Amino acid sequence: MSRFNVKKVAVLGAGVMGAQIAAHLVNVKVQVVLFDLPAKEGPKNGIVTKAVEGLKKLKPSPLGVADDAALIGQANYEEHMEQLRDCDLIIEAIAERMDWKLDLYKKIAPFVAPHAIVASNTSGLSITKLSEALPEEIKPRFCGIHFFNPPRYMYLVELINTPTTDSHILDDLETFVTSALGKGVVRAKDTPNFIANRVGIAGMLATMKEVENFGLTYDVVDDLTGKKLGRASSGTFRTADVVGLDTMAHVVKTLQDNLNAETDPFYASFGTPEVLKTLLEMGNLGQKSKAGFYKKV
Ligand code: NAD
């Protein structure tokens, strides 16, 4: 029987993942506060409100079975940080940048409740390195909680501990993720990109190289790697657009930064494909910027 009773969750970051994780939590009647950057920081102005509005339009509505009031959009961290104090779980889902995440953890630490679990949705940054920004009293309650995109529908969640995570934390979180969120858990070691992204990104990069080398079209490859093959996925390139090409490039960089060509020649041989570099330089980030491999996604 779990000691961990989750009534209120803070989700930090209202992007591709954070907004939908928040929606899923609301659907299972957990109260949620959803944070993003302060409105004054330019183009992200009002992003939380936009995320909530966008989610309401999805069919079936992720907010359909819960009271909208349960999802409280807050556009400014500094003013609303007090809301963290009564959260049982804090899920960090900001951009895949180690420096940004470390900075954020230092800011939130004074507001974390003494019983709360703090978990990162990073795609593959070292959970142990992330924990180093936290004070000693929070480190035993810190771990990785890696949802897959789209988190409302994908069943898998990877849970990752660090050498300082208390032994019951992953048990408590697994009970919550399976029984309250209705998902399946795989416990992963704290290795670069954990399990699924470590294996998955290699296949995606190899596919991109094939397209470059043999002049294939995205449509044909998506047919071959997606629905026409009987998979639920819409194929390599549509999936990349949904993931976000900036996030994908960060995942590739995590491999490059952490794997040694001598010990891991297979993974270390994958560089960032030229087409991905070009799209990023053009500001085409996939679905979130309305253009990626496909023009209208
Ligand atoms: P995203 O770029 O869509 O959203 C990130 C959000 O974080 C943005 O809204 C940004 O304004 C916000 N942000 C940046 N710094 C912040 C700060 N200091 N405080 C609060 N908000 C801040 O990114 P995403 O795809 O949602 O990814 C979020 C995390 O989830 C990353 O660690 C990513 O690796 C991981 N992840 C992504 C996917 C995916 O398919 N996109 C899947 C699994 C995990």
Q: What is the pLDDT of residues 15-25, one digit of tens each?
A: 889 988 988 88
Asked if residue 220 and residue 145 are part of one domain, the reply reads: no
Query: CA 113 to CA 241: how far, in whole Å?
Result: 37
- pLDDT higher for 269 or 141? 141
Q: Are 144 and 120 contacting, i.e. CB atoms less than 8 angstroms apart? A: yes
Higher pLDDT, 62 or 35: 35
Mark whether 158 is an active-site residue.
yes
- Which whole number is the average pLDDT over 277-288? 94
More confident residue, 60 or 115: 115
Does ligand 1 have an atom closer than 6 angstroms to the CB of 35?
yes
Report the number of distinct structural domains present in the chain.
2
Ligand 1 pocket, 192 CB below 6 A? no
**Predicted local distance difference test score (pLDDT) of residue 233:** 82
Domain's final residue, options 131, 164, 188: 188
Q: Give residue 181's domain range.
A: 8-188
Together in a domain, 14 and 112 = yes
Residue partners of 168: CB distance under 8 A and separation at least 6 = 3
- Among residues 128, 163, 188, the one where a domain terminates is 188
Probe residue for ligand 1, chosen from 77, 123, 130, 194 as the CB with the greatest number of ligand atoms within 8 Å:
123
pLDDT of residue 9: 93
Answer yes or no: do 155 and 202 share one domain: no
Residue 64 confidence (pLDDT): 46
205 and 94 in a common domain: no
Q: Counting beta carbons within 10 angstroms of the beta carbon of residue 83, is it exposed (0 to 12), middle (13 to 18) or buried (19 or more)?
A: middle
Q: Which residue among 188, 222, 240 closes a domain? A: 188
260 within domain boundaries: yes
* 73 C-beta closer than 6 A to ligand 1: no
Q: Give residue-wise pLDDT tens across range 195-250.
A: 999 988 888 998 998 898 898 999 999 998 988 888 878 899 999 999 999 999 99
Tens of pLDDT, residue by residue over 142-165, are 999 999 998 988 999 999 999 999
pTM of the model: 0.91
